[in-house]
Chains A and B, each alone.
Chain A
Amino acid sequence: GENVEQHPSTLSVQEGDSAVIKCTYSDSASNYFPWYKQELGKRPQLIIDIRSNVGEKKDQRIAVTLNKTAKHFSLHITETQPEDSAVYFCAASTGGNKLVFGAGTILRVKS
């Protein structure tokens, strides 16, 4: 079955700097890749997603890139702010509805 690896497990950046989180997946049939942000004690919130027919997607300060050949995708957050501090999860799906999640990245933005 699908396996998703996520790195790094923790990431500390200075406010205003950029943050990059990377995920690799194993199943070449995966075609949907969402990213969720989870604040302490809260539900996971979808922040951006990308499908396999697109190489890059951007939404304000957040962007996701996908490299199907290498089977990896990345989350890029620019101009980080303290409110970006949270746990970020990547996930992959083959379109059969099942999401397989990465282990998560704790992002700390220092002001």
Chain B
Amino acid sequence: SAVISQKPSRDICQRGTSLTIQCQVDSQVTMMFWYRQQPGQSLTLIATANQGSEATYESGFVIDKFPISRPNLTFSTLTVSNMSPEDSSIYLCSAEDRFRGTDTQYFGPGTRLTVL
């Protein structure tokens, strides 16, 4: 399975600032996704990061708040913009490797964000 890393692992940010989270996969993958997991809660899909085109956002998430880049088949970034305490959460990226004939999703370790 693909090995996925994220940076930073955690951060504490001030209200009104922005944070960019990086997701790196050790091999080329077809699909990459970004999820949010609030404390003690389940995972909610924010968007699908499409290589070479704009990300596809889920209901309730917008590009201005969560801009996403995917410049190649191994890397993606999620920016949390103009942060408020309600954005405090764990942000996880995942990857699905259809190049290897599987649609199984594997997750990165997550980025724990605290907004003061």
Contacts and interface: CB of A to CB of B under 8 A. Distances in A.
Interface of A: 1, 32, 34, 36, 42-46, 49, 89, 93, 95, 97-104
B110 A99 contact: no
Interface residues of B, number: 20
A49 B48 contact: no
A99 B96 CA distance: 11
Interface of B: 31, 33, 41-45, 48, 58-59, 92, 96, 103-110
A69 B92 CA distance: 33
A32 B103 contact: yes
Given A43-B92, A97-B48, A89 B103 contact: no
B110 A98 contact: no
A34 B45 contact: no
A102 B42 contact: yes
Given A97-B31, A102-B42, A43 B48 contact: no
Nearest to B1: A46
Contacts of A95: 103
Given A43-B92, A43-B110, A97-B48, A34 B42 contact: no
A1 B43 CA distance: 16
Contacts of A93: 103
Given A43-B110, A45-B107, A95-B103, 5 more contacts: A32-B103, A98-B45, A99-B105, A101-B44, A104-B41
